[in-house]
Amino acid sequence: MKRLSLISALLAGLVLSGCSGYRPAPAAFHEMLDQPYRLGAGDRIRVTVFEQEGLTNTYSIDQSGYFAFPLVGSVPARGHTVKQIEASLAAKLREGYLRDPDVSVEVDRYRPIFVMGEVGAAGQYSYVPGLTVQKAIAVAGGFTPRANQGSVDITRDINGKVITGRVRTSDPLLPGDTVYVRERLF
């Protein structure tokens, strides 16, 4: 009898441990929210060079993390902030093109987020500032009847390393995040 209850306890422990495949989100998930936004492939930026109509335009960052800018060629953007891009462009334009360029850069369109799993319409969706997990799920058609509505898994690129962590539905998202809504057990 004791042997049977011991086996039952071990099996229950194995089943429950299998339910916790991911640990809660690491501290880096929340630390990224307080840092300046870093550009990546899929973002589109608006560059304004004052009094230079031919240079003012929107530019897309390609898969390799660069964008092509007139006069200076390919400019690395992946991992850089808009302030760093402003300084870089101004410095390159000073090298024989413009005497004192005044450059402004802003994000025109963020890279998309992805919502998968137990939602009405899984897919790729546009990111807007202030987007939370709950809002993204609503945009993706809401939870299915089988969805675990307590927490979701987010996959995020943090300093070039892809990390997955479990977060609450009230947590904010960042551009490029992948949200996975798990199926509930009961």
| Ordered structural domains, the chain, with CATH | 22-35+111-181 (3.10.560.10), 44-109 (3.30.1950.10)
pLDDT of residue 150: 87
What is the predicted pLDDT for the residue at 25?
75
Q: What is the pLDDT of residue 14?
A: 43
Edge-to-edge strand list for the sheet holding 161-168: 123-125, 113-117, 178-181, 151-158, 161-168
Taking only the tens place, the pLDDT of each residue in 90-147 is: 999 999 889 999 999 999 999 999 999 999 999 999 999 999 999 999 999 999 999 9
Q: What is the mean pLDDT of the chain?
A: 87
Residue 16 has pLDDT above 60, yes or no: no
The share of the chain scoring above pLDDT 90, in percent, equals 73
- The DSSP symbol for 37 reads P
Q: For 38-72, how does the pLDDT look when each residue is reduced to its tens digit (9 = 90+)?
A: 999 999 999 999 999 999 999 999 999 999 999 99
Q: What is the pLDDT of residue 34?
A: 85
Report the distance separating Cα 61 and Cα 111, nearest Å: 10
Closest CA to 97 of 49, 45, 48, 46: 49
- pLDDT value for 9: 47
Give the per-residue pLDDT at 17. Answer: 43
Whole-number pLDDT of residue 52: 92
Helix H or strand E segment including 66: strand 66-69
